C-alpha cells in the first residue's frame, strides 16, 4: 500500500480527547479536539500509551513573554524563527505535550509506503529519513533533510494538525504530541516495531532510556570505569548501558542519597554525594577513587558546572566526557586551551545518545525481549489518561522515574 488508506476515518478529521497545556505550570485540561488527516509523507497514529519525560515538564514550565503574546499565525512563526536562531525553546500555548509513546497506524498520507494501517509504531522526536548524507552515514544521527529544532508545528509547511472544538489552533511538541488519543507525525519520525513488545515498555524508547545508550555515544569498553553525573532516568539508562557493555566500575553522582540503592539495580557500583565530601570537589574524589580519573564520564542533568566537573574527572590521555543533559541555551563552557591540548581528553555532546532511531531502536527492543535490557525497572508508576496530572505530580516530587499513561487500558 502506498499513500492509500482504507479505514472509515482515513482522509477525514478525527474527534478525540487530548490533554492540553493551556497555560504554563497549570494542570493539563482534557478536552475534545479535532485531529486533521495526515498530509503527504505523514502518518496519523492512535496512541496506546505514553510516558512523561522531564522535557515535557520543562516546556510546560516555560512562561510566555507578554510582549510577544499573540494568536496571529505570522507573529507566532516570527517568534519560533527567532527562538530557533537564538537556540531558545519557544514558550507557546495552548499546546499538546508528550513525546514518548507507542501506537498503531490509523491512516497514512500520500507517498507513505514504509507502514500500513494497523502497524505498531513508535513516534520519534528525532528524524531518520534514510536518504540524506547524515542518515546514510554511521557517524551521525542528525538528519539534514529534517533538521531538529523546537518547532510548534508538524511538517515543513509549518502548520498544526490540531484544533479545539472552537477552531482554535493547538500547537505541537517536539514533532510528536502524544498526550492525545490521535496524533499526526512525519514518516521520517515513525518507526515500525514488533507488536510483541509490551506497549508500556516500548514507549520508553522514544527518548529518555534510549538517550542513555552508552554503547553508542561513547562506545564503552569491557573492564572500564564510568562516572555518571545525575541518576535520573537518563543517568540510570547510562548505567544500564554501561553494565551491558561490561564496564567494571560504574560511579553514580547525585545529591539524593536514595539514588544509590536505585542505581545498584542498574549496575552502579559506587556512589558519590556532593553534599558529603567536605571541601573536595566531585572530580577530585573520582580521581582519587579511580587512581587517575574515569575512562568515561556522562553529564545527565543539564548544568554547565557539572560538565566542567565531569570533564575534570575524566582520565588524562584518553578520558571521554559525553554531555547528555540540556542546559539553558545561553550557558557557556569555559575550558583552558592549554589544558585541552595537554590533557588529551575529549568532550562531546550527544543528542538521543547518538542512536539512529530506525536502526538502533529495534536493537534495544531485541535486547529487552532477550531479557538483557532492564526496561521494567524504569517504570515506577502507571496511570489512566484521566489521571495524567498525577504523573506530573509524581515526577515533580521526585517519586517517579517513568510514569506510563494509558489511553484506554
Determine the pLDDT at residue 113: 96
Determine the pLDDT at residue 62: 83
Helix (H, G, I), strand (E, B) or coil at 23: coil
Residue 66 has pLDDT above 50, yes or no: no
Residue range 233-261: mean pLDDT, rounded: 95
Residue 334 has pLDDT above 80, yes or no: yes
For the segment 75-110, what is each residue's pLDDT rounded down to a tens digit?
444 444 444 333 445 679 999 999 999 999 999 999
The crossing angle, in degrees rounded to 10, of helices 54-61 and 388-396 is 90
Residue 381 has pLDDT above 90, yes or no: yes
> Could you tell me what percent of the chain has a pLDDT over 70?
91
Determine the pLDDT at residue 89: 53
Task: Please report which confidence band the pLDDT of residue 409 belongs to, taking 50, 70 and 90 as the band edges.
Answer: low
Determine the pLDDT at residue 90: 62
Task: Please report which confidence band the pLDDT of residue 6 belongs to, taking 50, 70 and 90 as the band edges.
Answer: low
Give the bridge partners for 337, in sequence order.
none
DSSP string, 327-350: --TT------HHHHHHH--EEEE-
Q: Using CA atoms, how far apart are residues 82 and 233, in angstroms rounded to an integer?
A: 31
Residue 53 has pLDDT above 70, yes or no: yes
Closest CA to 11 of 42, 48, 56, 32: 42
Residue 204 has pLDDT above 80, yes or no: yes
Determine the pLDDT at residue 84: 39
For the segment 129-164, what is each residue's pLDDT rounded down to a tens digit?
999 999 999 999 999 999 888 889 997 788 999 999
**E runs forming strands in 128-207:** 162-164, 169-170, 182-186, 190-192
Structural contact between residues 4 and 113, judged by C-beta atoms closer than 8 angstroms: no
Q: Which three cell numbers stand for residue 378?
A: 524504569
Closest CA to 347 of 326, 330, 333: 333
Determine the pLDDT at residue 150: 82
Task: Please report which confidence band the pLDDT of residue 326 belongs to, taking 50, 70 and 90 as the band edges.
Answer: confident
Residue range 296-303: mean pLDDT, rounded: 94
DSSP string, 48-81: EEEE--HHHHHHHHPPPPTTT----HHHHHHHHH
Q: Helix, strand, coil proportions of the chain in percent (round to 5)? A: 30, 25, 45
The predicted model scores a pTM of 0.90
φ, ψ of residue 329 in degrees (nearest 5)? -55, -30
Residue range 349-369: mean pLDDT, rounded: 94
Determine the pLDDT at residue 132: 97
Rounded to the nearest 10°, the torsion over CA 171, 175, 178, 181 is: 70
Closest CA to 297 of 226, 245, 380, 363: 226
Q: Using CA atoms, how far apart are residues 301 and 286, in angstroms rounded to an integer?
A: 18
Task: Please report which confidence band the pLDDT of residue 216 belongs to, taking 50, 70 and 90 as the band edges.
Answer: confident
Determine the pLDDT at residue 87: 41
For the segment 301-317, what is each residue's pLDDT rounded down to a tens digit?
989 999 999 999 999 99
Residue 232 has pLDDT above 60, yes or no: yes
Amino acid at each position: 500500500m502506498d499513500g492509500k488508506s482504507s479505514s472509515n476515518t482515513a482522509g477525514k478529521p478525527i474527534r478525540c480527547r487530548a490533554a492540553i497545556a493551556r497555560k504554563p505550570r497549570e494542570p493539563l485540561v482534557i478536552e475534545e479536539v479535532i485531529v486533521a488527516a495526515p498530509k503527504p509523507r505523514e502518518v496519523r497514529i492512535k496512541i496506546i500509551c505514553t510516558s512523561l519525560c522531564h522535557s515535557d515538564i520543562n516546556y510546560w514550565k516555560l512562561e510566555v513573554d507578554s510582549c510577544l503574546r499573540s494568536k496571529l499565525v505570522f507573529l507566532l512563526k516570527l517568534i519560533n524563527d527567532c527562538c530557533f536562531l537564538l537556540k531558545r525553546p519557544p514558550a507557546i500555548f495552548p499546546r499538546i505535550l508528550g513525546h514518548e509513546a507507542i501506537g498503531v497506524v490509523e491512516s497514512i498520507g500520500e507517498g507513505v509506503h514504509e507502514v500500513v494501517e494497523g502497524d505498531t509504531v513508535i513516534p520519534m522526536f528525532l528524524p531518520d529519513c534514510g536518504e540524506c548524507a547524515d542518515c546514510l552515514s554511521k557517524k551521525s544521527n542528525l538528519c539534514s533533510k529534517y533538521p531538529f529544532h523546537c518547532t510548534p508545528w508538524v511538517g515543513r509547511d509549518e502548520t498544526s494538525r490540531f484544533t479545539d472544538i472552537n477552531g482554535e489552533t493547538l500547537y505541537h511538541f517536539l514533532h510528536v504530541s502524544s498526550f492525545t488519543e490521535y496524533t499526526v507525525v512525519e514518516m521520517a519520525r515513525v518507526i515500525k516495531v514488533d507488536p510483541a513488545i509490551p506497549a508500556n515498555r516500548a514507549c520508553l524508547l522514544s527518548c529518555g532510556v534510549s538517550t542513555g545508550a552508552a554503547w553508542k555515544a561513547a562506545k564503552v569498553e569491557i573492564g572500564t570505569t564510568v562516572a555518571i553525573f545525575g541518576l535520573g532516568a537518563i543517568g540510570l539508562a547510562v548505567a544500564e548501558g554501561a553494565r551491558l557493555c561490561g564496564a567494571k566500575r560504574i560511579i553514580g553522582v547525585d545529591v539524593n542519597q536514595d539514588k544509590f540503592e536505585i542505581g545498584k539495580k542498574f549496575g552502579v557500583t559506587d556512589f558519590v554525594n556532593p553534599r558529603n565530601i567536605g571541601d573536595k570537589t566531585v572530580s577530585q574524589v573520582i580521581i582519587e577513587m579511580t587512581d587517575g580519573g574515569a575512562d568515561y564520564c556522562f553529564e545527565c542533568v543539564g548544568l554547565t558546572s557539572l560538565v566542567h566537573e565531569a570533564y575534570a574527572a575524566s582520565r588524562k590521555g584518553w578520558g571521554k566526557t559525553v554531555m547528555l543533559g540540556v542546559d539553558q541555551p545561553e550557558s557557556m563552557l569555559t575550558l583552558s586551551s592549554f589544558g585541552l591540548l595537554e590533557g588529551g581528553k575529549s568532550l562531546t555532546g550527544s543528542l538521543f545518545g547518538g542512536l539512529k532511531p530506525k536502526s538502533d531502536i529495534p536493537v534495544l527492543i531485541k535486547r529487552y525481549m532477550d531479557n538483557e535490557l532492564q526496561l521494567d525497572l524504569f517504570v515506577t508508576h502507571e496511570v489512566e489518561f484521566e489521571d495524567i496530572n498525577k504523573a506530573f505530580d509524581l515526577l515533580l516530587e521526585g517519586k517517579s522515574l517513568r510514569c506510563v499513561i494509558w489511553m484506554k487500558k
